[in-house]
Structure 1
Amino acid sequence: MNIAYWIVAGLLALFYAYAGTLKVTRTRDRLRPMMAWVDRVPLPAVRTLGAVEILGTAGLILPPLTGIAPALASAAAIGFVLLQIGAVAVHLTIEDRRIALNAALIVTAALTLYLSTQL
């Protein structure tokens, strides 16, 4: 289970580290081709969301790696599940039906949550 956690959590962490970094560093114009919803959300909220994703990445990796408060990995995984549920709601309210990536991220974060309880 330990190897499975590191594979799944590592892939999830890579995705959110990348996405969070983009949201923190790029302008709205450079985000728009990838994220159609950025026009409907204030830029400070987009930046905050990116920072939360980066912190969640640290929450998935650092606690199990250091052995300090490993339950925080479960909290980070729960946070990513909730984040994607909110993302699905945003996509559906702007009539964007492309939620396959969000659904895959929900499943991956839920699997990470399960595996983190087995550590």
Structure 2
Amino acid sequence: MNVVLWIIAILLGGAFVAAGLMKMLQPKEKLIETGLGWTEGFSPNAIKAIGALDFLAGLGLILPALFGIAEILVPLAAVGIVLLMIGAVVVHGRRRETPMVIANLVLLVLAAVVAWGRFGPYSF
């Protein structure tokens, strides 16, 4: 199970680092053009803040465990992703973007598995 948790954490971490960088580095207009229609309802600073949270959560899933420093941050980052995905489900649900809601729920469940495993029976 430890290997499964590592695989999930690495995949989630990479995805959230990439998504966070995209939201932080691209202007709002470019994000809208690339299919992130939800950004229309948010200010550029709010989008960058969401991107920063994505980026930090992604790093938090991998780096503490990789370096063996403050490993409690791994499950805390996973809980942060669960909270981010709850917000994403609400936003996409209001916009009736069912495929995005499903994707967010999958990410939520994966992050919850990491949080459960690293807080519980498979902690570092």
TM-score scaled to structure 1, two decimals?
A: 0.92
Q: 1:107 aligns with which of 99, 106, 109?
A: 109
Q: Percent identity?
A: 36
What is the aligned residue count? 119
Aligned amino acid, residue 72 of structure 1: L
**TM-fit CA distance, 1:45:** 0.5
Secondary structure, in 3 states, of the residue corresponding to 2:70? coil
Are positions 1:46 and 2:70 aligned together? Answer: no
Alignment of 1:93-104 (within 5 A): 93-98=94-99, 99-104=101-106
Partner Cα separation in structure 2 for residue 105 and residue 34 of structure 1: 19
The offset of 1:97, in angstroms, is 2.7
Higher relative contact order (CA 8 A, sep 6+): 1
Instruction: Tell me the amino acid that sits aligned with residue 115 of structure 1.
Output: G
Matched residue SS, 1:70: coil
> Where do residues 76-87 of structure 1 align in structure 2 (5 Å cutoff)?
76-87=77-88
Task: Classify the secondary structure of the residue corresponding to 1:114.
Answer: helix
Q: Find the aligned partners of 1:3 and 1:80 in 2 and give their Cα distance.
A: 20
- Give the aligned partner of residue 75 of structure 2: 74
- Root-mean-square deviation (CA, aligned residues, Å) is 1.3
Aligned to 1:16: 16
- Cα distance in 1 for partners of 2:18, 2:68 equals 25
Aligned equivalents of 1:57, 1:88: Cα separation in 2: 19
- The TM-score normalised by the length of structure 2 is 0.88
- The C-alpha deviation readout for 1:36-80, integer Å capped at 9, x for no partner, is 110100010100111111111111112112222211111100000
- Structure 1 segments, 4+ long, off by >6 Å, are none
Contact 1:4 1:115 in 2 (8 A): no
Q: CA deviation at 1:94?
A: 2.5
Give the equivalent residue in structure 2 for 1:28.
Answer: 28
